[in-house]
A and B are shown apart, each in its own frame.
Chain A
Amino acid sequence: MTGQAPSMDGDRLPAIAPSGDARSWMRLIDWIWTVRGELPLPAGQSAAEAFARLEPFFREPGTSFDQAEGSLTFTKKDPLAQDRMSIYDAGELRVESQPGGGVLRYWMTSKSLLFCFLAPLLFVAFGQIIVGVGILAKPDTEQADKKKKDEKDKVRELHWIDQMLGAPAPEKPKKDEKEKKKEEGGKDRFSPTSAYVFAGLFALLYVIGRILEDRLIRRRFLRSLSGG
């Protein structure tokens, strides 16, 4: 059976799971963007019944699927945010008969997981670019800061209303403090700290996503198969 949810951009070819020795080395790294798993089917459930229960997952906008001979392949393009499989772009589900009963095996790839895995590298690169630009731009900024120097020396006073209400008066910066602040200001402008913080955040998000999405899809498939 071939299904086509209300897709927004036409037909696409079904995904094909990697196979053969030539691609076995990919198994070493493809865990980064691939979610695999297997679930026991409820006693007596046939492949057709199992896929019928899972079909709502693939009846989503932007999803194309092809079901035949105990397997289902799908592709997704721009799935909705609330699509329960929105992180996956392609994959295959297969029902295999085993002595203890049927087993559903699935293999799904996710560009989102790969993107999140690579994002820390991107932000580290941004950090390096910021540092590099800071080194190149330093002479110009120092000149500009000199121009501002006189302006900053002025003592400013609060409006009488603010004085009456007790707001702290602005302080005139001390000479050495001013120099220190100027240096810090220059550093801040070309500081890579934010880039490194985001690199860390994405690394953390990857770990969370890789574990969370794996468990979520397993739970959702299990619930659907058991009719919950």
Chain B
Amino acid sequence: MNGVRVGNRIIGADSPVTIGWENVPRVEGGPFKRLFFTWFQPAVLFSMILFWYYAPNSIAKASTAIGIGIAFRALLLALEWVNPRHKSWELTWKECVTDLFYVGLGYTILNLVDNFIGSDVLIENLLSSFDWDKFAWFTGLPLLVQAFLILFIFDFGQYWMHRGMHNWYPLWLTHSVHHYITQLNINKGAVGNPVELFLIGLGIGGLFDFLPRAALLAGAIGMSIGVYQHINVRFNTPAWWRFLFNTTEHHSLHHSLDFEATRSNYASNFIFIDRMFGTCVDGEAELLGMEGGRRMSIREQMTYPFTEGWKTMKQKFGKPDDTHAVPAE
């Protein structure tokens, strides 16, 4: 396999990938189907912005956001069934159970841990210890600017954390588990070792004070962009969207079996951050995972960073293996 040159790198030498938007297949079918899958993403994004911008205070609450989030995911699950990107990514009962287990961990135990050692709690303690105030000027900005900044600050931090995970072995150990997923579905973003799920959630947003409505807007915009990272639906995503935002195509390359392709497209929402730092590759992949596409069980997902780390430590600092000793003459 020769691969394709993208900048200084050869992408697709280990496993087949599609590079360039002109080579990515389009949605096939009647005019309504094509229209729907072309405008669905922008229509949802702008509807969400309008809703959260103008919703009365009695409705603009976190509980409404949670309800909309659940309903939206249910709709996307239906779309996975109606217009799958790849047959080989079809959601099975076992995959659904595995994914939901991780979603459940996020809503329960990880959430509990976040209450004590999450970044917001740590920043709050830091500010009160040094008698500092939050950056209160933030609340004086227009709502959409506040929402964008909340998202951008988080995404920028997330970009470097994610890139760090791919470049520093101790962090990679925690993140590698997520790269064993072999297909993309709505809830696959939640799959990973809990240590990584905690690390990837860290951000410095807690330093800033913002209006609750801006936070709700940021959440809705983030959901309307980020949810498509892991999804088995083919869209005719508009060019401006693909230029600005992370898409399933980008993220499938990031999860590809091809090593060089995985070292691209790190941002969570804003792919333009990758474009800024030269790590963006436009294209898609169907064959995903690690070690030839081996599927990892939940038990191994929980222990892998520790067992692998232990093996590496033993190799590096342990006694040399006697069985390989050269006998004395």
Which residues of A approach B to under 8 Å, CB–CB? 8, 61-62, 78-82, 86-87, 112, 115-116, 119, 123, 126-127, 129-130, 133, 137, 144, 147, 156-159, 161-162, 165-168, 170-171, 189-190, 194-195, 198, 201-202, 205, 208-209, 212-213
Contacts and interface: CB of A to CB of B under 8 A. Distances in A.
Contacts of A79: 295
B42 interface: no
B316 interface: no
Contact of B56 (A116, A158, A168): A168
Given A123-B104, A127-B108, A205-B97, A8 B291 contact: yes
B94 A202 contact: no
Interface centre among B128, B182, B211 (most CB of A within 10 A): B211
A223 B244 CA distance: 48
A156 B111 contact: no
Interface of B: 53-57, 60, 88, 90, 92-97, 100-101, 103-104, 107-109, 111-112, 115-116, 124, 128, 139-143, 182-183, 211-213, 291-298, 300
Interface centre among B182, B291, B292, B297 (most CB of A within 10 A): B297
A81 B109 contact: no
A134 to B, nearest CB: 9
B107 to A, nearest CB: 4
Binding site of A, secondary structure by majority: helix, strand, loop or mixed?
helix
A170 B295 contact: no
Nearest to B140: A159
A154 to B, nearest CB: 8
B108 A126 contact: yes
Contacts of A156: 139, 211
A130 B124 contact: no
A81 B183 contact: yes
A82 B139 contact: no
B213 A195 contact: no
B292 A112 contact: no
Contacts of B90: 82
20 contacts: A8-B291, A79-B295, A81-B95, A81-B183, A123-B108, A129-B109, A130-B108, A156-B139, A158-B211, A159-B142, A167-B53, A167-B143, A168-B213, A171-B57, A194-B107, A195-B104, A198-B104, A198-B108, A201-B100, A205-B100
Contact of B93 (A119, A137, A166, A208): A208
